Chain A
Amino acid sequence: MTCAVFARDVSLDTEGIHRLVVGEDQDPRPLSTAGAADELGDDFATLVLLQGAFPQSAEETVEAIKEAVPAGHRLRDQMTFVLGEGSQIAFSDQSAAIERSIRFVVTLGATANGPPEGPDILVSVFDPRQTGIELMAWDHRSGGFNYYRSMGRPSAWVFAGNSRHALVEPTEGKGPFESHKSGALLMKELKVPWVHWDSSFAHINATAFSPDDERRQHPWFTNKQPGGAYAFEFEVARPAIARWAKARFEALRASTGPIERPARIIEQVVATPTINIVSSIRESVAANMSTKPIELPATFFVDADGLAEVGLQGPPQFTVTGQIYAQSLQTFDVQLTDGGGFSQAGDTHFAFAVPERALEDVVVVREALAMGLLSRRLAACLLMTDFPNPIFSERRAALLAHVPPTAVVMNGGSSFSQETADAILAAAAEAPEGAPEREFAKRWAVGEDFDGTFNGLLRTYYDAVNAQLETQDGFDAYFQLAESRRQRVRDTMPIFESPLLFATTNIAPAALSMREDGSVR
């Protein structure tokens, strides 16, 4: 966990800017004023740090930025959001010791009414009055977000990298890019009902804090953004993710040479470098109080977002009855536990929280198509390989091995897609029956006019899933599949930061996958 280096107890000059881009720097090193001015083109650096101001607490940081600009400047537009994995568990004697991980995210540079590109600065912290701050600021000169951490006590500001560091060795996957895999803003629970967030679907009330917790009265809590995660998704997260993706692909377009290592892009199409978390829109408690069916997240069953980018048919609304869902909770002894002794029977606040393909990867599919790097046919054939497993598909990820080392895009066209397909087809000719290359070859053989065939495959699969969902055994199998995907997140992804992210079960760890006939193996 290279991200942990930022939690080290170090003694740094609090009146200077430091650099710790993990992979390039062993330890935090001071940046000269000229060096910092040369490397950092974001508003936090230019308006605050380079002016000799080094705020300590999160609220001081936000105020320092706002005070550095005149009245009416967009950086004076502040929105505050609250989230926490244990935030829906009211404080009581029994729950007093829970680590609820309640934290604040402040944005500067946007209101709920714009601008379309989202805010320029984001600040994340557990307590507005304390340090331990994570800050992202858009670099107006070079593009991408600059990542900062406040480090040590008293704290010093450390530049931890720019979004582009997420994409290249030796910094790729290190430091903040362990979690921000492609350098994009991370909002794990991106979609409605935004499990764990204060939102238009679930409020985080003052009762989530202990009665003497001063955060109850802090303006960042009492004046949090109405609608919460609803505004964050549409006014912050989606625009910020798209902003970086556009800048990344604009840089590729502007480059005169070939695209080096296009596999870094294709990895985001066929593999699962990171995930978002999605759930039913129904509260798990309410689900148990109602006879109505429970809506399940479609992206658990298929990569609906990715397939939509290539124009393929979306899935129906998958549902399961409340009785079957409740029985599965009992069968698998589903509990919310914080790892510190607290345990509560039942699911997460919203039912059936599961990982799904991350938006930052979907946006890369969109941009690669728009640029001409990916043809619609190649994208569709890649996504339709092992399509019943929208994430964590080893079969689909295996196709990455055949991606050419470079790609050339000229005037919106490229031979890259054909070359990639040719390489996979050549491998398929030598591969054993059942190999993913063979499956890809079957998809490719459908030709350019693939919509009807692929949609037919999807419809057959959707029907099979719906049939399984009508039975207890069928849903139990999906519950086990969901748990195997959650376990993969727990075991391998640094974004798993709290035991309360998912509920726990008595299901033994196993690598499960879905078949085209809707069964689980």
Chain B
Amino acid sequence: MAILPRFSTPGNVADANPDAWSETVLTLFDSVSAFTHFYDPTKVDTPDDAIVAPVVWPAFPASLPGPFVERLELADTHRGTQDEYCEWAVERNNAGKITRVTFTTEVPEYFEHLFETDQDALLELYHELVSTEVVLADLADEDGSYLRRNRWNDSPRGRPAHLMQGSNTLPAAVTLAAQATVLRERNGTPVTHPQALVVCSQLGEPLRGSDPQIASAVNAAVASGASVTLSDPVGLYIDGLITGGIETPDGTNPASFWTVERGDASHILRAAFEVREGEGHGYVVGDIKVDGRPIEFGGQLAVRVRVRIKAIVKAGSQPPARLPCEP
């Protein structure tokens, strides 16, 4: 693989200013350069025998408390609860039945990049993804900066533009991966299990499905002496929809209702589950059953939407010394 010439855009999407985006990611990697076993692939060689280590988790927030149905309701009504680097929004018909659920893993930093480098492209993207009614003024705050939680990207209903939950950011993912290269011990015993590692290193919420797994995978690799980085294009991706247990009224394969809307085939940034009008099915998403129950919440699908990040593991022989848990 050698030296990466520059960081690619998320999902390899077309961009008029790819160097500017690469610079954004580069700055991010520079900010964690103190972590010796986390490396910048644009500066350090990645050999051909480096291992790609995918880490996968469900989009539905694992740490959300309460009975399952209440969790489904809560997740569907507050995007802020969707903290697994994947958010979704739901559209319903007049009868209240779900007609479409749209999932996104696209980081807000990329939209900020567009705001700063190509506002026409940003507006066009909003028109394509969210609504043709969006105007540029809707997307800026009083200071003229890009507004992540703008009125078009602040709702669990309709169509999301990109991630907006406070923890769902590219810096959060990169920093977590870098911090997870620190090996830990507690009372002389290595701390390796995902939740324990997150608690020990104070890396956030141990019950999340995402962060503990990312941290644990990175940490296990570094314990063998390896160095790690994140696979290019750096980002969080939708790995797919698990269709097992989804039953359509007419027996149509539910996978046919899953449409990738953004990103390339290997790096899906956005996808929607929808029974398209005009195909003669005569039903909507809300008529489809999951595990014997009609889809009443987007969360029923989110449980089955896989989110992924890929680490690159470069073999080495010198693991760092283990440090005690953070006080």
- How far, in whole Å, are A192 and B66 apart by their CA atoms in the complex? 14
Any A CB within 8 A of the CB of B200: yes
Any A CB within 8 A of the CB of B244: yes
A200 B244 Cβ-Cβ under 8 A: no
Q: Known: A116-B254, A238-B244, A283-B196. Is A230-B56 also a contact (CB below 8 A)? A: yes
The A contact surface, by secondary structure, is loop
Any A CB within 8 A of the CB of B245: yes
Any B CB within 8 A of the CB of A508: no
Contact of A192 among B55, B62, B65, B186 (CB under 8 A): B62
B193 A202 Cβ-Cβ under 8 A: yes
* One of B2-10, B93-101, B132-140, B205-213 at the interface: B205-213
From 193 to 222 in chain A, residues with beta carbon under 8 angstroms from any chain B beta carbon are 200-203, 205, 207
Per-residue B-contact encoding for A179-194, CB less than 8 Å = 1, 0 else: 0000000000000100
Residues on A with beta carbons closer than 8 Å to the beta carbon of B325: 289
Residues on A with beta carbons closer than 8 Å to the beta carbon of B186: 289
* One of A17-25, A309-317, A432-440 at the interface: A309-317
Residues on B with beta carbons closer than 8 Å to the beta carbon of A192: 62
A286 B206 Cβ-Cβ under 8 A: yes
From 224 to 272 in chain B, residues with beta carbon under 8 angstroms from any chain A beta carbon are 239-247, 253-255
The B contact surface, by secondary structure, is mixed
Residues on A with beta carbons closer than 8 Å to the beta carbon of B275: none
Residues on B with beta carbons closer than 8 Å to the beta carbon of A304: 67
Q: Known: A290-B206, A316-B66. Is A238-B213 also a contact (CB below 8 A)? A: no
Any A CB within 8 A of the CB of B169: no
A200 B200 Cβ-Cβ under 8 A: no
B243 A116 Cβ-Cβ under 8 A: yes
- How far, in whole Å, are A83 and B40 apart by their CA atoms in the complex? 34
A282 B207 Cβ-Cβ under 8 A: yes
Q: Known: A90-B192, A239-B244. Is A281-B62 also a contact (CB below 8 A)? A: yes
* One of B157-165, B171-179, B302-310, B314-322 at the interface: B302-310
The smallest C-beta distance from B23 to any residue of chain A, in angstroms, reads 31
Any A CB within 8 A of the CB of B291: yes
Q: Known: A113-B242, A116-B244, A234-B245. Is A205-B220 also a contact (CB below 8 A)? A: yes
B194 A281 Cβ-Cβ under 8 A: no
- How far, in whole Å, are A116 and B256 apart by their CA atoms in the complex? 11
Per-residue A-contact encoding for B36-74, CB less than 8 Å = 1, 0 else: 000000000000000000111110001001111110000
B243 A113 Cβ-Cβ under 8 A: yes
Any B CB within 8 A of the CB of A227: yes
From 214 to 228 in chain B, residues with beta carbon under 8 angstroms from any chain A beta carbon are 216-217, 220
- How far, in whole Å, are A110 and B190 apart by their CA atoms in the complex? 37
A203 B220 Cβ-Cβ under 8 A: yes
Residues on A with beta carbons closer than 8 Å to the beta carbon of B240: 112-113
Any B CB within 8 A of the CB of A236: yes
Any A CB within 8 A of the CB of B105: no
Task: Select from chain A the residue with minimum beta-carbon distance to B58.
Answer: A230
The smallest C-beta distance from B316 to any residue of chain A, in angstroms, reads 15
Any B CB within 8 A of the CB of A115: yes
Task: Select from chain A the residue with minimum beta-carbon distance to B216.
Answer: A203
Contact of A235 among B54, B67, B242 (CB under 8 A): B242
B200 A289 Cβ-Cβ under 8 A: yes
Any A CB within 8 A of the CB of B104: no
Task: Select from chain B the residue with minimum beta-carbon distance to A366.
Answer: B292
Residues on A with beta carbons closer than 8 Å to the beta carbon of B246: 116
Task: Select from chain B the residue with minimum beta-carbon distance to A117.
Answer: B244
- How far, in whole Å, are A286 and B196 apart by their CA atoms in the complex? 4
The smallest C-beta distance from A376 to any residue of chain B, in angstroms, reads 14
- How far, in whole Å, are A285 and B185 apart by their CA atoms in the complex? 13
- How far, in whole Å, are A200 and B306 apart by their CA atoms in the complex? 10
B67 A113 Cβ-Cβ under 8 A: no
Contact of A286 among B199, B243, B247, B303 (CB under 8 A): B199
B192 A200 Cβ-Cβ under 8 A: no
Task: Select from chain A the residue with minimum beta-carbon distance to B198.
Answer: A286
B217 A112 Cβ-Cβ under 8 A: no
- How far, in whole Å, are A112 and B190 apart by their CA atoms in the complex? 33
Per-residue A-contact encoding for B7-46, CB less than 8 Å = 1, 0 else: 0000000000000000000000000000000000000000
B306 A112 Cβ-Cβ under 8 A: yes
Task: Select from chain B the residue with minimum beta-carbon distance to A365.
Answer: B292
29 contacts between A and B (CB under 8 A): A112-B240, A112-B306, A114-B243, A114-B244, A116-B244, A116-B245, A201-B209, A202-B194, A203-B213, A203-B216, A203-B217, A205-B220, A226-B54, A226-B55, A226-B56, A226-B306, A230-B56, A231-B306, A238-B244, A238-B245, A281-B62, A283-B193, A283-B206, A286-B199, A290-B199, A316-B66, A317-B65, A363-B292, A366-B292
- Top 3 nearest A-B pairs (CB, nearest first) are A227-B56, A286-B195, A226-B56
Query: Which B residues have a C-beta under 8 Å from some C-beta of A?
Result: 54-58, 62, 65-70, 186, 190, 192-196, 198-200, 206-207, 209, 212-213, 216-217, 220, 239-247, 253-255, 291-292, 303-304, 306, 308, 325
20 more A-B contacts (CB under 8 A) besides A116-B253, A289-B325, A314-B70? A90-B192, A112-B240, A114-B244, A117-B244, A200-B56, A200-B209, A226-B306, A227-B56, A230-B56, A230-B58, A230-B306, A234-B245, A234-B304, A281-B207, A282-B195, A283-B206, A289-B199, A314-B68, A316-B66, A316-B67
Query: Which A residues have a C-beta under 8 Å from some C-beta of B?
Result: 88, 90, 110, 112-118, 192, 200-203, 205, 207, 226-227, 230-231, 234-236, 238-239, 242, 281-283, 285-286, 289-290, 295, 298, 304, 309, 314-317, 349, 363, 366
